[in-house]
Amino acid sequence: MTLIEKLESGKRLTYEDGVSLYNLDLITLGKYASKIREEKHGRKTYYNVNRHINPTNICKDVCHFCAYSASRKNPQPYTLKHEEIMATVEQSVKNGIKEVHIVSAHNPDTGLEWYLEIFAKIKEKYPQLHVKALTAAEIHFLSEQYNKSHEDIINLMIQNGVDSMPGGGAEVFDEEVRKRICGGKVTSQQWLDIHKLWHEKGRQSNATMLFGHIESRAVRVDHMIRLRELQDLTGGFNAFIPLVYQKENNYLKVTDFPTANEILKTFAISRIMLDNIPHLKAYWVTSTIKLALIAQEFGANDLDGTIEKESINSAAGANSANGMKQKEFLELIESSRFIPVQRDSLYNEVD
């Protein structure tokens, strides 16, 4: 069977097939990715009214791609007090957010309680608000720092009101590349094991992939296959989020950045390969809003949300520091001839 015959029949593709997909032209890939998108979601594009909060940028790890953590490149350390976080949440709730998305650097000085108690405080005051918090990388850091198992930390998250896990910290799973870009933090297998544990508790999460730096196309496909295998076991991933590498203010010496063609191919191939993950998110913060809108024609059916404020990628050059207004978001999706649908964090449609 040729690759095109497999694509026509909807047969699951192998790792080798996935690598070969990159040899197809973008329009052909878009055709098959769009077909899958339309079968799953029609012309609907989901978005969320949410708020990102990044409570500290002090980090014990040194990922070479990172521009967010306080370091020689970004010498402005901060750690928010819980009262400051609560004041932000209060204002965002008034603005109509449905989700608060909290991820931090790996700060060894705050104590475990500082990380966990804020979730309980938010949940107590705003029980209707979905708390998405702590990446697998943060969970691993907390488990090592405070001598607890991954499962202990996960149980504490649940006790303190965390509803779902974000997909960060996955970067790329290939061990060689991982060693070069973020050696020292959660390993690929640990990242997958933590999400498996979370799913086994009946909870849902997302998965990311950081691409466009020093990884090869084959490494991206390997990343997708490892996620697909876990999803076959647990079914706990809601969305796959390919994150485009941001190039400023970091220690990774990348000179060759992906073209729009390469980025869109990667979206389309993600949609084709990850047949068991329902949603493909074009996170406009890293792809730019213009490319995210085009990605709707290449398999993406979710553009994330209004965000309000974003610190991690804007530190590395992304134009996302102040989020986006809901009205603007809706108009952009509509003008690209898709149907904007507000969703909650678990992809239930919101009136």
Q: Is 142 in the site for ligand SF4 (CB under 6 A)?
A: no
List the one residue out of 258, 265, 295 whose CA is nearest residue 280: 295
* Tokens representing residue 190 in the block: 């640990």
- Residues 302 and 279 sit within 8 Å (Cβ to Cβ): yes
Residue of 32, 46, 47, 68 interacting with ligand SF4 (CB under 6 A): 68
Q: What is the dihedral of CA 246, 252, 254, 259, to 10 degrees?
A: -20
Q: Which is nearer to ligand SF4, 21 or 312 (CB)?
A: 312
Q: Which is nearer to ligand SF4, 63 or 282 (CB)?
A: 63
Residue of 37, 98, 132, 185 interacting with ligand SF4 (CB under 6 A): 185
**Beta bridge mates, 207:** 240
Residue of 7, 66, 102, 273 interacting with ligand SF4 (CB under 6 A): 66
Q: Is 134 in the site for ligand SF4 (CB under 6 A)?
A: no
Q: Is 137 in the site for ligand SF4 (CB under 6 A)?
A: yes
> Which amino acid, residue 313?
N
Residue of 1, 4, 27, 62 interacting with ligand SF4 (CB under 6 A): 62
Strand ranges inside the chain, DSSP E: 44-48, 50-53, 99-102, 130-133, 205-211, 237-244, 279-280, 302-305, 339-342
Does residue 311 sit in helix, strand or coil?
coil
Q: Is 136 in the site for ligand SF4 (CB under 6 A)?
A: no
Q: Considering the complex, what minimum distance in angstroms separates the CB of residue 164 from ligand SF4?
A: 19
Q: Considering the complex, what minimum distance in angstroms separates the CB of residue 207 from ligand SF4?
A: 16
**Count of residues that bind ligand SF4 according to CB under 6 A:** 12
Residue of 19, 59, 227, 315 interacting with ligand SF4 (CB under 6 A): 59
Residues 89-128 that bind ligand SF4 (CB under 6 A): 105-106
d(CA 271, CA 78) in angstroms, rounded, equals 38
Quick one: which H or E segment has residue 144?
A: helix 136-145
List the one residue out of 295, 345, 293, 283 whose CA is nearest residue 319: 283
Residue of 29, 36, 53, 63 interacting with ligand SF4 (CB under 6 A): 63
Q: Which is nearer to ligand SF4, 69 or 306 (CB)?
A: 69
State CA 210 to chain mean position distance. Answer: 9
- Residues 283 and 275 sit within 8 Å (Cβ to Cβ): no
Q: Is 61 in the site for ligand SF4 (CB under 6 A)?
A: yes
Read off φ and ψ for residue 229, nearest 5 degrees.
-65, -40
Which residues in this chain contact ligand SF4 in the complex, by CB under 6 A? 59, 61-63, 66, 68-69, 105-106, 137, 182, 185
